[in-house]
Structure 1
Amino acid sequence: MEFSQYDVNALMHITNRPSLVFTEGRGMWLTDNNGKRYLDYLQGWAVNCLGHSPQCVVDAVSAQVGKLINPSPAFYNEPSIVLASMLTKHSCFDRVFFANSGAEANEGAIKLSRKWGKVNKNAAGENRYEIITFNHGFHGRTLATMSASGKAGWDTMFAPQVPGFFKAELNDIASVEKLITDKTVAVMLEPVQGESGVIPATREFMQQLRALTKQHNLLLIVDEVQAGMGRTGELFAYQLSNIEPDIMTLGKGIGGGVPLSALLCREEVACFEPGEQGGTYNGNPVMTAAGIAVLTELLKPGFLQEVKDKGDYMAAQLRKLCVKHGLDGERGEGLLRALKLGKDIGPKIVEAARDLNPIGLLVNSPRPDLLRFMPALNVTTEEIDHMIAMLSEVLTKLGH
């Protein structure tokens, strides 16, 4: 079907999209309406942690749809109980609330911490509600999560912002400490800042942050919407630093492509009362069945070690690419990596890579001087080599 035959004007214009429509996907590959194939290093922005249409998710969703789709969150359903139990068994958390998106999970984390601040008041008997977040952080697109985020320009886009968020600098513990007041209830961060260009929090900083929050009786919230679910080579990114946060949010990879997210917390933080948190689809059995299939795969012997090994391999190949084309280097954790270009050519690379023939390459440029890579966690070394060769071709064509 020709692109002109699609009535794309029926969709609200919220982003600039190329004139193609994807019709099929399998593993690391997508196919468009013209039959052209693309090697996909976006994977729905780290959503498809097992690639496009993984058989385990297809089977789990198909089976569950035939049994029970939506009984209402007013009742228990089996898949949500099973997935919650799996998550708590393999983390430091005790309680789980399921939602549909990372933004919802983060909104829930903000609400939960503020409720905890009402229960655990300051010395003057006042509610604590201020949350320290970080410049360049990204927590979602609701009004509260945009206010918590540190993206430039977001403070005026839908002003006024939700009050109570104060921005520190990642990997600078002094910048956090100076923002603490008697109204502070929590510190919230991404263990790896994704949208800002794949900037990891150091192990030392995460440990300092945990010590500081304990010292001041503050909650530590880790937003692992992008960095969680095996992306860094550990099941959860906080495990890289050998710490135990109070609250964690998951999204993207947890559903393997379907809309699923989770808010997790320790027992002593689980202070929601009936009616304070909910959602029509929370704990939906179809979505949580997909989550069970994903987590089962990630927990198979050797899977996470392979993520680490392939992350190391990709890093090494990106460094070779830097030497060949005079680029500035690479960084990241596991299979969440960035290539530092040294000049603002990212958007040109994205377009040129997509337009390669006969096979296109899909990459992301969250900043004009940088590319981000979020492949399926079961990407092969051959597919990494293929991506590197295609990138090298593009860089040569662009004269770099």
Structure 2
Amino acid sequence: MADEVLSQAEVESLLSAMEASGPRTSSAAISTASVAPPSKGAIRTREKVTPYDFKRPERVGKEQMRALQSLHEGFGRNFGAALSALLRSIVEVKLTSVDQLTYSEFVFSLENPTCFNLLRAEPLEGNLILDINPSILYPIIDRLLGGGKEAGPVARRPLTEIELRLVSRITHLFLQELKHAWEGVLPLKLSVDRVESNPQLVQIVPPNEVVVLISFELTLNDVRGMINLCIPFNSIERIGSKLTSNNWVAYGKGGATPQSIAQISKRLDQSKVELVVTLAETTITTGDMIGLRVGDIITTDKDIRTPLEIAVQGMAKFQASCGALKGHKAVRIEQSIAVPAAAAPPPTPATPAPAPAAAGKK
């Protein structure tokens, strides 16, 4: 038998032996009892067992998942600020989860209809998916069209052509911020292939293929909704070594050195820039403009002795006087325009006085 049952006489014999031998026998009895097999009613302590589902293998490492989480936390803050500027309303974007699951589980968890964007992210293989929940998408569209703060009922229908054009502004903003977030890992060329309303009709990978689901919660006034970014594992399998915290978390902008300044200045010396000289500014009616002929004179309020303004790439840089040089219209630079300290470039070596340069008029 597996369990040994002592008779009453054997029990009394053990008790009497314990009393006669004193504390040493008692300790020996306790030691013997500790190795004795438990009875049927005894509770056995089991080690903690963690279940493992072979249908959902964890193919993405924990370090890579942490790197993706940290990367998209910063992306969420930047996207929220950019979306707030577009909608002119406070929008909060918060990363809620970074999980790995099968593609079928992701698809069947979405609403139908929804805004299901198929993305191309070169040089990554395959497609990525951007899903925008209708509960937050329609309030954003309403806001873009000048709607008020109160949100109406959410429509359960596919997007119209006009709504798709408006949604493209949101997806373009999302892709722009996503590209900036991934610059430290891999330069991506992001674009939207097509937009679907029924997610179950789109299959970019096999149903049992593992995908990484990155979910964001958007809050606009009193309305909340989800935006999901789905990245198939086969798209990031080859760049798994780059998705580590050691490779991109420590990435930062270093200070400018004299060597880097000299190298950049040397490359910029031969760059072509747009130089515009503004002679004067005035306003005329459309009728007078249509009636202008060669030889007509346009009067302005600007005095002939007032220096002209020269703009380089749209920024006012110099004051000059106009004249002629070898039969061509020309300007002569008189002095530089002071640049604010916040926007002033680093000092450069002194250069000789510039010679008169020809310029077009505006």
Higher relative contact order (CA 8 A, sep 6+): 1
Which TM class, normalised by the smaller chain length?
A: under 0.3
Q: Hey, which of these two has a bigger chunk of helix by percent? A: 1
